[in-house]
Amino acid sequence: MKKFLKNAEETEQFGAELWKQLPSKCLVFLSGDLGAGKTTLVRGYLRAAGHTGAVKSPTFTLVEEYTINGLKIFHFDLYRLTDPEELEWIGIRDYFDQDCLCFIEWPEKGEGMLPKPDWVITLNTEGEGRCLTLESLTK
């Protein structure tokens, strides 16, 4: 599925729509350049789920954890990863073993250490807007 998003508000709205579509346990890869709207999309998802606090990019912390109405959501940003092996040091497999939803920005940085995603969302800048591609890899 492809969709054009005119601005940050539409990107956040699309994230809110995902709240209705994604199962509570799945792995979502988020691809796109810096500033493409990956964290904005996650913010929309979290707000639709009921999160009222700040949503920041986990660029420096690597992962932000949210528990909303019993649902665990992990938001990873692998941009600063220098070696996929670093994921072993943080216990990445422990996250995936839980009943949770994981969003992973910059998944290519963890290549070889990450399982196959259930969904891939790609955001590309087009003028002032974004072209979003959503692909389900589960049957």
pLDDT in tens, 45-79: 999 999 999 898 888 889 999 999 999 999 999 99
Number of domains in the chain: 1
Residue 82 lies in a domain: yes
User: Can you tell me which residue has the tokens 């692998």?
Assistant: 78
Tell me, yes or no, whether 135 lies in a domain. no
Task: Give a yes or no: residue 85 inside a domain.
Answer: yes
Instruction: Supply the CATH number for residue 79's domain.
Output: 3.40.50.300
Asked if residue 130 belongs to a domain, the reply is: no
Domain membership of residue 112 as a residue range = 8-125
DSSP result, 62-116: SEEEEEETTEEEEEEE-TT-S-TTHHHHTTHHHHHTSSEEEEEESGGGGTTTSPP
User: Considering the entire predicted model, what is its pTM?
Assistant: 0.93
Task: Give the range among 2-6, 30-34, 46-50, 124-128 with minimum mean pLDDT.
Answer: 124-128
Would residue 1 count as lying in a domain? no
Could you tell me if residue 133 is inside a domain?
no
